[in-house]
Structure 1
Amino acid sequence: MTHSEGAAEAPAAIDRARARATFDAYVAPYDADNPCIALKVEHTLRVAELAQRIAQGAGFTPVGIDICWLAGLLHDIGRFEQLRRWDTFRDDDSADHAAIGVDVLFEGATHLDDPALVHAVPASRPDDDAFAAHAYEAGALAAFAPGTAADPAGAEIIRAAVGYHSAFRLPDALDVRTRAVCDVVRDADKIDILRVTCTDDVETVLGITEDELLASDVSPAAEDAFFSHRCVRRDERREPADYLVGLACFTYELVYPASLEIALDQGFIFQPFERPFGIRRAFTNRATAHLMNRMDGHLRAWVDERTEASGARTPAL
């Protein structure tokens, strides 16, 4: 997707106004009074913008930048059915939201009740059929970008970017162009999740109280992941504070130099340790408080090394 790659293989350009209008129409029937729905709409639009900025910084072609923007716009489309059916962001307690997104975009929302996708069967609701019809009619990739949907290469890139955006690791078999877009979307998603979790409240995001978060431990697996400079796997997150450690670990796995620079400019990298969810009180769990201080210093040193090596700006901390 860079200037050096063959233009003949590039997917069709994106009509952004159409794609954005289609997104607005798709989310319109969902409960706008639910703060989680509002959160996901705002997150989606920011990820699309961030994906564009990262792709531009990485030297993608204009068409490549467009496809990254579209993939960012669509990456979390599965969240809306997840929230309506299960009222949670937790995939383990509902269904894989990325797989729901692929189903809506590419399979006509025909697998929403498939046991292979669903981890917890939701209670039946009288509007299920109406929403399934809505997903079928309004959620197809062709509704967002007919040219991309008609182009096999472009459609497969979007499928991969949506399907793998929250995976712990990308499959080794991805081709270079697909991996490049997937990495852009994953970077953009990580950057904005840092923002969401530092500007929204703990009850909305984690479903617990401030006191419960501040009293929690950090599990050994999450601690090991942090000091190994890798992301925390979902099955390693045992304690509420592990979520904060996992957020901080996002910084280690940002692929593009432009992504780290954007994250630094936004100023949210260190807030999981400083003011998680805007909480200014200290951890009441003294062991966690001590460990969080250590992690904060370690991450700052790591970021300093990377920015000095790449020439990226380091803001005043």
Structure 2
Amino acid sequence: MAPLEIDRARARAAFDAYVAPYDASNPRVALKIEHTLRVAELAEEIARAQGFTPAGIDLCWLAGLLHDIGRFEQLRRWDTFNDRASADHAAIGVDVLFEGASHLDDPVLVNVVAAARADDAFAAHAREAGALAAFAPEAASDPAASALIRAAVGYHSAFRLPDELDIRTRAVCDVVRDADKIDILRVTYTDDVQTVLGITEDELLASAVSPATEDAFFAHRCVRRDERTEPADYLVALSCFTYELVYPASLEIALDQGFIFQPFERPFGIERPFTNRATAQLMNRMDGHLRAWVDEQI
């Protein structure tokens, strides 16, 4: 059997068609379109650098293109990136790609959003244009490739991957997770705090770092969502992504891009220091700690 080949032009055209009805004038929607395309490119770059086969590189690229497909319905319905305040965007993505967008019929979800957002036209669009077959029929008809894409989308934002994943699936999931982390670090340089967190600069600069988030940072692990209780926790959580990049190529790419230390140096382009003095001091200490850790790795 010939190795699976993904028609990238068709997949990219299908992505453009899928996101077209969503409001690109909303900066959060625009952010996610741009983020998605960069993650697909990064996933390809990491996979290639790590010596994946051409078929594996194609699957990593496709998984990167589809990893955040659930964000668009999340934004349309709730206009937030906060899964705890809305729904798990990765689960929505799996549902759109593989389950016929059945979440759009869930009365619990429909009842918690404005009636105008429970739109039949969007429901039909998600079912027809959001299925994996619309992006890559060759992957949709291949059970192994389909299962791999489902895992990569479903677990891309999970705190930890399940232990039972096979080696190939874990490898692709790790590529997508690394690519996602690298590009999310970019948002603290290219986007503003209102778009990403829905708060003002003053609110961010006055916030504290929660003890659980501080502990996670110095334990060299990512921060769980339920441990983030303060706005400044988001910045620390971003910096922790560096600790858990799986592939050597990922750390090299992240360093080349130059965003690893952005959460401490100039978050969201803000020039002013933290008005919370304890936070300012802690951020300075964390910056030095992370730089020393990175130096040890390279």
Distance 1:180 1:187, change over 3 A: same
TM-score by length of 1: 0.91
User: Would you say 1:252 and 2:262 are equivalent positions?
Assistant: no
For the residue of structure 2 that corresponds to 1:122, the secondary structure is: coil
- What's 1:156 paired with? 147
| CA–CA distance in structure 2, aligned partners of residues 210 and 146 of structure 1 | 45
For residue 138 of structure 1, the aligned residue among 97, 115, 129 is: 129
The answer on 1:186 being equivalent to 2:181 is: no
1:239-260 residue CA offsets vs partner (Å, 9 max, x unmatched)? 0000000000000000000000
1:31 matched to 2:18? The reply is: no
Distance 1:32 1:292 in 2: 34
Give the whole-Å Cα distance in 1 for the aligned partners of 2:187 and 2:24. 18
The one-letter code sitting in structure 2 at the alignment partner of 1:268 is F
Structure 1 unaligned regions, length at least 5: 1-7, 308-317
Seq. identity, %: 83
Tell me the amino acid that sits aligned with residue 69 of structure 2.
I
Question: Which residue of 67, 71, 90 maps to 1:98?
Answer: 90
1:71 matched residue in structure 2:
63
> What amino acid maps onto 1:141 in structure 2?
L
CA RMSD of aligned residues (A): 1.5
The CA distance in 2 between the partners of 1:115 and 1:161, in whole Å, is 28
2:265 alignment partner in structure 1: 274
Aligned equivalent of 1:222: 213
CA deviation profile, 1:243-300 (whole Å, cap 9, x unmatched): 0000000000000000000000000000100000010111110000000000000000
Q: Which has the larger displacement, 251-260 or 87-96?
A: 87-96
Residue from 17, 38, 45 that aligns with 1:53: 45
Letter in 2 for 1:180: A
1:110 corresponds to 2:102: yes
Q: Provide, for residues 81-123 of structure 1, a one-character-per-residue CA deviation record: whole Å limited to 9, x for no partner.
A: 000011111111111100000000001101235378x598222
> Would the alpha carbon gap of residues 109 and 163 (structure 1) be closer, same or farther in structure 2, given more than 3 Å must change?
same
Counterpart pick for 1:165 among 151, 156, 162 = 156
2:282 alignment partner in structure 1 = 291
Question: Partner amino acid for 1:163?
Answer: G
Are 2:8 and 1:16 equivalent residues in the alignment?
yes
Q: Is the 8 Å Cα contact of residues 22 and 76 (structure 2) preserved in structure 1? A: yes
| Preserved CA contact (<8 Å) 1:103 1:112 | no
Query: Closer, same or farther in 2 for the Cα pair 1:128/1:47, shift >3 Å?
Result: same
Distance in 1 of aligned mates of 2:253 and 2:282: 27
Change (3 A) 1:107 1:279: same
Give the total of aligned pairs. Answer: 298
Structure 1 residues 119 and 247, CA, compared in 2 at 3 Å: closer, same or farther?
Answer: farther
**Deviation of the 1:12 alpha carbon:** 1.8
Please state whether the residue corresponding to 1:180 is helix, strand or coil. helix
CA distance in 2, matches of 1:115, 1:303: 48
**2-side partners of 1:239 and 1:25: how far apart?**
37
TM-score, normalised relative to structure 2:
0.97
Matched, 1:85 2:85: no
Structure 2 alignment gaps of length 5 or more: none
* Contact 2:77–2:117, Cα closer than 8 Å, also in 1: no
1:11–1:148: 8 Å Cα contact kept in structure 2?
A: no
Query: Alpha-carbon deviations, 1:182-203, whole Å to 9, x = none?
Result: 0000000000000022210000
Moved over 4 A (4+): none
